[in-house]
Structure 1
Amino acid sequence: MAAMLLAASISGTAVVQAAPHDTSIAIITESMPTENSDQAGNNADGTGFKSRVAEILNQDAGTVKGVKRGDLYVPKDTKIMLVLQDPLHSKRVKSGANFRLKTAGNLMINDVIVIPKGQEVIGRVLKAHGNGLFGSSGKLEINIPYVETRNGVQIPVNGYVSGYGKSDGGAIAVAAAVTFIGGLFMKGTNIEYTPGQLFCVTVKEDTDLDATPDNLEAAMASTRPHGQNLVVKAAQ
Structure 2
Amino acid sequence: MQTRKEKVLAIVLSTAVFAAPFVAAAPAYADPQLEQIQPQKETATAENGEPLSFKERLKAKMAQAEISKMPAGEAYIPGGTQLNVELVTALHSKTARTGDIVRFKMMENLILNDVIVVPAGAEVEGKVTKATSSGFFGRAGKLIFSIDKVRTINGVDIPLEYMGKIQAGSDGGAIAVTAVVSILGGFLMKGKNVSIPAGTKFAAKVKNDTDLKTSLKDLQEAMNPEKPHGVSISIR
Q: TM-score range by the shorter chain?
A: 0.5 to 0.7
Alignment map for 1:64-83 (pairs within 5 Å): 64-65=68-69, 67-83=70-86
TM-score normalised to structure 2 length: 0.64
What residue is the counterpart of 1:106 in the other structure? 109
* Percent of residue pairs bearing the same amino acid type: 36
What do the CA deviations read for 1:23-46 (whole angstroms, capped 9, x no partner)?
xxxxxxxxxxxxxxxxxxxxxx98
Look up the match of 1:163. Answer: 177
Structure 1 pair 172–105 and aligned structure 2 pair: CA distance change class (3 A): same
Shift in CA distance, 232/86, structure 1 to aligned 2, threshold 3 Å: same
Structure 2: state its 5+ residue gaps: 1-31, 37-57, 163-173
| 1:141 Cα offset (Å) | 0.7
Which residue of the partner structure matches residue 27 of structure 2? none
1:143 corresponds to: 146
Please, what TM-score do these two structures have when normalized by structure 1? Answer: 0.64
Unpaired segments of 5 or more residues in structure 1?
1-44, 174-182
Opposite residue 214 of structure 1, the aligned amino acid is K
Tell me the distance in 2 between the aligned counterparts of 1:56 and 1:172: 55
- RMSD between superposed Cα atoms in Å: 3.1
Q: Larger Rg: 1 or 2?
A: 2
Q: Tell which has more relative contact order, 1 or 2 (C-alpha 8 A, sep 6+).
A: 1
Counterparts of 1:10-49 in structure 2 under 5 Å? none
Match status 1:221 vs 2:234: no
Q: Is the 8 A contact 2:124 2:148 kept in 1?
A: no
Structure 2 counterparts to residues 46-195 of structure 1, below 5 A = 59=64, 64-65=68-69, 67-159=70-162, 160-168=174-182, 170-172=183-185, 183-184=187-188, 186-195=189-198
Distance in 2, matches of 1:193 and 1:57, equals 36
Structure 1 residue 99 displacement after superposition = 2.1
User: Compared with structure 1, are the counterparts of its residues 57 and 205 closer, same or farther at alpha carbon in structure 2 (3 Å cutoff)?
Assistant: closer
The list of structure 1 runs, each at least 4 consecutive aligned residues, that deviate by more than 4 angstroms after superposition, is 55-60, 230-234
Deviations 1:158-190 (A, max 9, x none): 13211111112x2146xxxxxxxxx22x02222
Structure 1 residue 152 displacement after superposition = 1.1
Equivalent pairs counted in the alignment come to 171
Deviation at 1:231?
7.0
